[in-house]
């Protein structure tokens, strides 16, 4: 039984770390995207594209889209995100966290615009 608990604790620690990574980089990325487009509707389109990929279990493609967004904004692709690409489960957790973070950021822009 203690081994099972330690596996869950390790998983929770990994998930928390991925959440931290997502929060740190999604904000900077969204800020740079918004600075370029100045339209919340464009951020909505990006959000819905990532969600559609995630919902259809195309997590790898969602990661590619996120990487492309860093390129479009001329930001370096973060090393910490690149490390997550090696395993399907870490990609899945990251994209799920990114979607939540990106949504919150968009809502912040929407509120500020009104």
DSSP letters spanning 8-68: HHHHHHHHHHHHHHHHHHHHHHHHHHHHHH--HHHHHHHHHHHHHHHHTT-HHHHHHHHHH
Q: What is the pLDDT of residue 112?
A: 87
- Model pTM? 0.88
Which domain, by its residues, includes 61?
2-113
Give mean pLDDT, residues 78-94. Answer: 95
Give mean pLDDT, residues 36-51. Answer: 96
75 SS3 class: coil
Q: What is the pLDDT of residue 113?
A: 75
Give mean pLDDT, residues 38-52. Answer: 97
Q: What is the pLDDT of residue 34?
A: 95
What is the total count of domains within the chain?
Answer: 1
Residue 89, pLDDT above cutoff 60: yes
Q: What is the pLDDT of residue 9?
A: 61
Spatial distance between the Cα atoms of 58 and 52, rounded to a whole number of angstroms: 8
């Amino acid at each position: 039984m203690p081994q099972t608990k330690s596996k869950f604790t390790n998983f929770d620690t990994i998930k928390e770390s991925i959440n931290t990574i997502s929060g740190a980089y999604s904000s900077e990325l969204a800020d740079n995207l918004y600075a370029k487009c100045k339209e919340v509707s464009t951020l909505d389109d990006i959000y819905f594209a990532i969600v559609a990929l995630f919902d259809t279990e195309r997590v790898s493609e969602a990661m590619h889209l996120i990487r492309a967004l860093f390129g479009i904004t001329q930001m370096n692709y973060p090393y910490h995100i690149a490390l997550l690409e090696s395993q399907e489960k870490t990609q899945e957790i990251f994209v799920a966290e990114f979607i939540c973070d990106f949504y919150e950021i968009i809502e912040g822009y929407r509120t500020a615009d009104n």
